[in-house]
Amino acid sequence: MQRRLISALVAVVLAGIGTLLLFNWVSTADARAMSGLQPTNVLVVTTQVPVGTLGSQLGAYVESRQIPSSAVAPGALADLDSVKNLAATTQLEVGEQILPARFAEPHTSDKDGVKVPNNMQLLTVALDAPHAAGGQLEPGQKVAAYVTVKGKNQLILPSILVVTSTPDSVTLALAPKDVQRVILGTQANLWLVVSSKDSASTSPMTVTQILE
């Protein structure tokens, strides 16, 4: 009888030890799995970040998380030092990793990957390839605008930012005062050429001269 009691107690103790070992194994499974995936610390958005939020203000919107290196987005940040003086150009959603490409100088927006100052206006003009540098313009490129007046090509703007470009149209970022120049230019004969030092040093035509 005593021997059976001792055997039963031993069985209970061993079962308890087995249960404890199983619990410890399960509770550390995530850590063991992560250790085999080269864990990396990155900043992840926990609260939606509004456009224009400075990097120095992101502390309340993000947290540092450890994720497998294979899941880390290229360029994802582990701290805010490099963007503390920059502003978010687009709204950042919960779960996103913090990427430097989403930030630029304050008062700048992201339009199809091109950083456009918020005081600029976007204008799309219909142009065939010969009038748009052979149709080879790329977003982010700078161009000069010319119009053909009385048989002569005259500069109207020396440096314009290209936002998007297709085979039959180009979207330009312009200061409000320059929008009219380009619109009038399309009514004459507008040409876009890749900007050069020479075009930057040439005096552009006035609106009155374009209308003449």
| Domain parsing of the chain, residue ranges | 39-106, 115-211
DSSP lists the bridge partners of residue 116 as: 109
**CA–CA–CA angle 156, 159, 165 (5° rounding):** 100
Please list the pLDDT of the chain residue by residue as tens digits (212 residues). Answer: 555 555 555 444 444 555 555 556 556 655 555 555 688 999 999 999 988 899 999 999 999 999 998 889 989 999 999 999 988 887 899 999 999 988 888 887 777 778 888 888 999 999 999 999 888 899 999 999 999 887 888 899 999 999 988 888 899 999 999 999 899 888 888 999 987 654 455 556 554 554 45
Query: What are 122's two structure tokens?
Result: 């976007």
* Residue 139 DSSP SS3: coil
Q: Cα 42–118–73 angle (5° rounding)?
A: 20
Rg (alpha carbons) of the chain, rounded to whole number: 31
Task: Record the tokens describing residue 116, joined without a space.
Answer: 């456009």
Q: Dihedral sign for Cα 156, 160, 165, 169, please.
A: negative
The topology (CATH level 3) of 39-106 is Type Iii Antifreeze Protein Isoform Hplc 12 (3.90.1210)
Residue 45 contacts residue 60 (beta carbons within 8 Å): no
